[in-house]
Chains A and B, each alone.
Chain A
Amino acid sequence: MSLNLSPSSSAKRKGEIFLLYTFSALGALVLSALIVEAVGANWSDVWNALLDGSFRKPGRWGRTLGSAVPMAMVAVGTIISTKVGLINIGQEGQMLVGAAFAAYMGAHVPGPGPLVIFIVIISGFVGGAFWSGLAGALRYWRNVPEVLTTLLLVTVAANFVGYGLKNTWLLLDPDAAVGNRTQVSQQLDPDSRLPRIDIFGNNFSISVIISLLLIALTFWLLSQTIVGFRLDVVGQNQKVGRRFGISEVRQGFAAMCASGGFAGLAGALMLASGDFAKFRLVPGFTVNLGWTGLLVALVAREKVLAVIPVALVFAGLRTGSSFLAATGVERRVTDVVQGLLVLALLVPPAVLFIRDRRRKLAQVESRT
């Protein structure tokens, strides 16, 4: 699919890409600034508050890392399924199911701490993979579009986990059930939680390290090994895949499971690291991190390593938003900024695609 362009024009093209991205991102930021001004606040105050809240003030960047981990994991999973040309948009649900599996295992499996942690995290992966696997199976077995099933299963997951949190034989903490009618799962034992690290007053769990390792592993698998190559072939051209003896069904189903698995893993890591909800599963546990992770993947566009900076920026927006109260701007403004950024960053690739297409057509026409 490469264009036959001379070296000078490829440098020009790189410049074009750079300019397009810069202008789009700037456009989104300017629009956000205008919205902030429109409600009578000062955009530079907001900017400073966001920076303070996300990493300048003591202890803040540890928190930012804590939110960045689940986003990054969800995004990595999404990239895997995009590679084979599947669209998985149900990460929020897969994450919740993963967290539910993890919470169940954490409460019911006896054993030494480290082993339990390991089982908790693995069962998170299994839970997420199961939930997206349903969509994958329907896609290949009954030809049901996976976009719809993954999306619909989000609500189903929320309802089922809600049901589980009302019943002690599933997830509800028996102690909490006696006292009041809150829906919480049993807290993870202190020795089956992920250890936390403290650097310069910034406290974060080792899930940060786990996720970095997983990102590196996925990057290697996708770009350097036959595993990634197979996914690529299926995603690019299924006829070629068939010639190579690569089964579309097998690759697609596996990618779908891996994608949900990473989302489930994100849920399990959230649960085991305790940044959210204090080592317990609660309704709405995933606090929209699944959706945000999906946005991270959309911005990173099939580049696994790009997930890290994008996740950090989005996590920064999230943690920074808690410092906005002093500026008189509602904290939800960061959702607007985030949405606008993603929307703006969808523009450059689309513009480039159309331009390349026009140039190609022009080339063909000039030849005939």
Chain B
Amino acid sequence: MGFLEAIWDVMSTESAYTAATRFAAVLVFAAVGEWVAERSGTLNISVEAMILAGAFAGAMGYDWTGNVVVGILLGMGAGLIVSFVQAQMSHRLTADQFVVGLTLNILFLGVTSFLYAEWKPSSRVASKLEIPLLSDIPLIGKALFGQAWPFLLLYLLVPFAWWLVYRTRWGLEVRAVGENPQAADVSGIDVNKRRRESIYFAGICSGMGGAYLLLGQVGRFDDGIVAGRGFIALVAVIFGGWTLRGTIFGCLLFGSVLSFRLTLPGLGYELNNELMSSLPFLVTIVAMAAFAHKVRPPGSLARPFVRGLK
């Protein structure tokens, strides 16, 4: 009996891993996009709205065509729409990015719940796809290779984001713009354009994440479907110290913590639900307070760029 035994119980249960990766997957989708946006210097708090819009559009797409691919594409489109508003308002006009993001979160909560009540799209979870051999790995096989098939998009998205940021000219410029916009501007990079583009990327990723959340896990839309996952994704990027590796680790960590709410009671352990739900947030706050001076954020994170103004 005791704490270690509980840990061992969780570690040796296959469903614990499945639940953890399910929670983490949505976070990874959103966090990868958010990571790129933050590297370009935008602390994009409208991820929440992007995921929500993606989920709703996913439901609509499935309702119209019965096709999961269409649902995901529409989800990406919806995320892009949100990111378009965010990008234009904060990096073409100079409205405050937090203010815009917050307004978008509230606006899209209204838009999706209104449209859902009017149109009532029906949808269901996409079929499972178990990759032979890989899904037979004990414990983690089902968790990583036996989920609903849109989960597999992650294996494309994450390397793609890495390649985009670290191996292309565009990525180099994005990092430069986030680090020192004045210098980037002088060397001929259109700072705000790069920032807008990276917000679009965040929108597409988060929209995809939203569509996956709906079509890969929940199956039915409701306006509380996102439940702060966008904020947790944002926090995972910070927790990960603005590296891709750290971000994904953060997502897995927070995903597992959130999944304990489901898995622990199933194994017969009592736990404090409220504490578990707030844990990702508390951990992040403590981590930010403890390591704030050790990890260095992108140099001009959350600072707008206007030529000639510091």
Interface residues of A (CB under 8 A from B): 35, 39, 87, 89, 138, 141-145, 147-149, 151-153, 155-156, 159-160, 162-163, 166, 291, 294-295, 298, 330, 332-336, 338-340, 342-343, 346-347, 349-351, 353-354, 357, 361
Contacts and interface: CB of A to CB of B under 8 A. Distances in A.
A148 B93 contact: no
A145 B274 contact: no
A354 B285 contact: no
A163 B285 contact: no
B289 interface: yes
B23 to A, nearest CB: 15
B111 interface: yes
Contacts of A152: 231, 235, 281, 284-285
Interface string B217-244: 0000000000010010011001000000
Contact of B278 (A39, A87, A160, A340): A160
Given A143-B293, A159-B275, A346-B95, A336 B111 contact: yes
B67 interface: no
Pairs of residues from A and B, 8 with the lowest C-beta to C-beta distance, nearest first: A335-B110, A339-B107, A350-B93, A330-B117, A163-B274, A159-B274, A332-B114, A159-B278
A343 B118 contact: no
For chain B, the bracket of interface size reads 35 or more
Contact of A291 (B93, B106, B293, B308): B106
B289 A330 contact: no
Given A335-B113, A342-B103, A147 B98 contact: yes
Given A335-B110, A340-B107, A350 B94 contact: yes
B292 A339 contact: no
Contacts of A336: 107, 110-111, 114
B117 A148 contact: no
Contact of B100 (A144, A163, A346, A351): A346
B89 A346 contact: yes
26 contacts: A35-B114, A39-B118, A89-B102, A138-B289, A142-B289, A142-B290, A143-B292, A144-B285, A149-B288, A153-B285, A156-B281, A294-B102, A330-B113, A330-B114, A335-B110, A336-B114, A338-B106, A339-B104, A339-B107, A340-B107, A347-B89, A347-B95, A349-B95, A353-B94, A354-B94, A361-B308
B137 interface: no
A332 B110 CA distance: 6
B238 A148 contact: yes
Contacts of B272: 163
B45 A151 contact: yes
A295 B238 contact: no
Nearest to B114: A332
A180 B275 CA distance: 23
B15 interface: no
A87 B103 contact: no
Contacts of B85: 343
Interface of B: 43, 45, 85, 89, 93-96, 98-100, 102-104, 106-111, 113-114, 117-118, 228, 231, 234-235, 238, 272, 274-275, 277-278, 281-282, 284-285, 288-290, 292-293, 302, 306, 308-309
A155 B231 contact: yes
Contact of B93 (A142, A351, A361): A351
A97 to B, nearest CB: 13
B99 A155 contact: no
A35 to B, nearest CB: 8
A169 to B, nearest CB: 15
Given A336-B110, A339-B104, A346-B89, 11 more contacts: A143-B293, A144-B288, A145-B302, A148-B238, A155-B277, A291-B106, A333-B114, A343-B107, A346-B93, A357-B306, A357-B308
Contacts of A149: 285, 288
Given A152-B235, A353-B94, A335 B106 contact: yes
Contact of B235 (A39, A148, A166, A350): A148
Nearest to A339: B107
A297 B289 CA distance: 29
A87 B109 contact: no
A294 B308 CA distance: 31
B37 to A, nearest CB: 15
Contacts of A343: 85, 89, 100, 103-104, 107
A155 B278 contact: yes
A87 B284 CA distance: 19
Given A155-B277, A339-B103, A147 B302 contact: yes
Given A142-B288, A339-B106, A347-B95, A332 B302 contact: no
Contacts of B228: 155
Contacts of A340: 107
Contacts of A291: 102, 106
A92 B109 CA distance: 16
B274 A298 contact: no
Contact of B113 (A153, A332, A350, A353): A332
Contacts of A147: 43, 45, 98, 302
A298 B102 CA distance: 10
Contacts of B94: 350, 353-354
A250 B235 CA distance: 28
B188 to A, nearest CB: 19
B261 to A, nearest CB: 11
Select the residue from A145, A334, A340, A354 with max chain B CB neighbours within 10 A: A145
A160 B274 contact: yes
A332 B117 contact: yes
Contacts of A166: 274
A155 B278 CA distance: 7
B99 A339 contact: no
Contact of B282 (A156, A330, A354): A156
Contacts of A148: 43, 234-235, 238, 284, 288
Nearest to B228: A155
B247 to A, nearest CB: 15
A314 to B, nearest CB: 11
A58 to B, nearest CB: 28
